[in-house]
Amino acid sequence: MRAVVTAYRDALRAHQEVVNRLNVYPVPDGDTGTNMALTLESVVAELADAADMAATCRAISHGSLMGARGNSGVILCQLLRGLCDVWKVAYEVDAAQVAASLRSASDAAYKAVQNPVEGTILTVAGAAATGACEAAVAGKQLADVLHAARSAATDALAHTPEQLPVLKQAGVVDAGGAGFVLLLDAFLHVVTGQPLPEAPELPAGALSSVATEAMPAGGGGDGSADGPRYEVMYLLEAADEAIPGFRRAWSDIGDSIVVVGGEGTWNCHIHTDDIGGAVEAALDAHGRPRRIRVTDLHEQIEEQRWVREGTAEAAPEAPAVRTAVVVVASGAGVARIFRSLGAARVVAGGQSMNPSTAEILEAVEAVAADQVVILPNNSNIVPVAEQVGALTTKTVRVVPTRAVAEGMAALLDYVADSDASTNAEAMAAAAGRVTPGEVTEAVRASSSSAGPIAEGDWLGLSATGIEVVAPTVAAAAIALLEVLVRPEHELLTVLEGEDADPADTRAVHEWLEQHRPGVAAEVHDGGQPLYPFLFSIE
């Protein structure tokens, strides 16, 4: 069982991007493969000290419960726990027990989901259980039972578009179901020795429009951006008898509800517009919520669209140089500017959709240079970029740029014929000479050193945090510039976002002419999502 779980983790990692690209239900946020893989990483991490079947099953159950990520990860957790319910008392597992464990897993997953939907991982897991049980009743051996389970699961997966219109519209099968089939591949790999399936190549543009095509107007919970805005997840310490009431409370405020666990510890997942109500339900159940995670699904979908489009758009091949530059950015205009300044590769990503180390590594390996400088352009991405150097034979230096403005300033001091270390030193100094600013919308009520924040307020951000809170884009932009633009500055570069209003840009110009007449302004179309204005002040 340890070997199966480890092989499954490896298979999910290999197919992670493929599964992500299939993800259009319940929300097209492109993270199903990632969430399933991260859940298995948590499981594998707990296996080291498991000496027998009972300990192994405890490790799998606990690791998946504590590490489950997203809707797909929580359902996968319950599937694994269902397997372990049968296996934990066994010293030898035969065909009948494998079939019984797959049925246990399917039943447990259906029970965990508040409103089960067919055409999902639930359907695929149920079909696998049925196929296995029929083969076991017919007296088939272990390998044949597993082959029957996989055959039934792949057939059910192929028919998921007939059960979920959002899948049919996008031309894909269910992402979670595809991830579950890899578990059966892992079983067969261990039992029969057959190799794990290789991930198919993704041609340029493959499935790049899935998220957009899968967003019909209206209809919460159908994969559209008009459904509940937030994903709320937390671990809940509560008495088992309190959970039915907790589920009823959640059913009144959201959908995609999955609650798994037992013996006082539960992993809880919901899509809702009422973050406070989702957390208060835990308190009403006399429970203690821990590790609360809130994700803005609408923001994630929007940025994932840019990530998909950016990934699909092939960058022109750059000539061989001594040192190449790889940057991370969102927005067609921003990417175009980076390339014009000399970047060899632009990895799509940003604040709410950070690229993986593997994606940055792929870009590093692809450039025609043995030395590479990486510009992360976001503080969240800096530590990810810093892992790349240990994974390649190329010389890699990371300039820890925290904003697009810093990255662009850094590229102005890039010299292709210099070595990576010399470039990194000069580029870091150049990045430090600019003052970046950003304007974005608050997605939830909060507080800050600049004052209370209401949902829908506009925030002016500097490199050190929130500087201003204002009711409109223009007011936030002007107030931020009033804080950041000093008498010694000479140039303000403005990158207009995808949703920037020309009237707001004019208001910025008028304020600058009246209050900072010595500062020249340049305006460029950045096309970045979520941020109507990015500023670079020099």
The 10s digit of each residue's pLDDT in 7-60 is: 999 999 999 888 888 876 665 556 788 889 888 988 998 888 888 899 999 999
How confident is the model at residue 384, as a pLDDT?
A: 86
Question: CB-based contacts of 280: which residues, under 8 Å, 6+ apart?
Answer: none
Element (H, E) at 42: helix 32-45
pLDDT at residue 217 is higher than 80: no
Phi-psi region of 256 (alpha: psi -120 to 50; beta: other; left: phi over 0): left
pLDDT at residue 351 is higher than 70: no
Residue-wise pLDDT for 455-505, tens only, equals 889 999 998 889 999 999 999 999 999 999 998 888 898 888 887 888 888
Residue 519 CA to residue 486 CA, distance in Å, equals 9
- What is the dihedral sign for C-alpha 473, 475, 477, 480? negative
Q: What are phi and psi of 521, to 5 degrees?
A: -125, 135
- Mean pLDDT over 396-412 rounds to 91
- Domains, the chain, ordered by start: 2-198 (1.25.40.340), 230-300 (3.30.70.120), 313-432 (3.40.50.510), 436-537 (3.30.1330)
Task: Please state whether beta strands 265-272 and 254-262 pair in parallel, antiparallel, or not at all (unpaired).
Answer: antiparallel
Higher pLDDT, 170 or 105: 105
Q: What are phi and psi of 259, to 5 degrees?
A: -130, 115
Higher pLDDT, 214 or 536: 536
How confident is the model at residue 375, as a pLDDT?
A: 95
185-199, 213-227, 275-289: segment of lowest average pLDDT: 213-227
Question: CB-based contacts of 206: which residues, under 8 Å, 6+ apart?
Answer: 21, 312
DSSP character at residue 173: -
DSSP-derived secondary structure for 178-200: HHHHHHHHHHHHHHH-PPPPPPP
Residue 201 CA to residue 207 CA, distance in Å, equals 12
Residue-wise pLDDT for 413-439, tens only, equals 999 999 999 999 999 999 998 999 999
How confident is the model at residue 223, as a pLDDT?
A: 38
pLDDT band at 353 (very low <50, low <70, confident <90, very high): low
Mean pLDDT of the chain: 85
Q: Do 67 and 47 touch, CB atoms closer than 8 A?
A: no
> Long-range contacts made by residues 1-5, C-beta under 8 angstroms, separation at least 24?
1/53, 1/56, 1/57, 1/60, 1/87, 1/93, 2/47, 2/50, 2/56, 3/190, 4/183, 4/186, 4/187, 4/189, 4/190, 5/40, 5/43, 5/44, 5/47, 5/60, 5/80, 5/186
Residue 270 CA to residue 26 CA, distance in Å, equals 11
Question: CB-based contacts of 393: which residues, under 8 Å, 6+ apart?
Answer: none
How confident is the model at residue 522, as a pLDDT?
A: 80
Residue-wise pLDDT for 203-212, tens only, equals 443 343 333 3
Question: CB-based contacts of 253: which residues, under 8 Å, 6+ apart?
Answer: 270, 272, 273, 274, 277, 278, 281
pLDDT at residue 510 is higher than 60: yes
Could you give the 3-state DSSP secondary structure of residue 31? coil
* Number of residues assigned to the chain: 538
pLDDT at residue 132 is higher than 90: yes
Q: Is the peptide bond before 26 cis (omega within 30 degrees of 0)?
A: yes
pLDDT at residue 308 is higher than 60: no
70-74, 103-107, 534-538: segment of lowest average pLDDT: 70-74
How confident is the model at residue 214, as a pLDDT?
A: 35
- What is the dihedral sign for C-alpha 500, 502, 503, 509? positive
Cβ count within 10 A of residue 14? 16
pLDDT at residue 313 is higher than 90: no
DSSP-derived secondary structure for 210-242: HHHHT--SS-TTTTSTTS-SEEEEEEEE--GGG
Residue type, 71: N
How confident is the model at residue 355, as a pLDDT?
A: 79
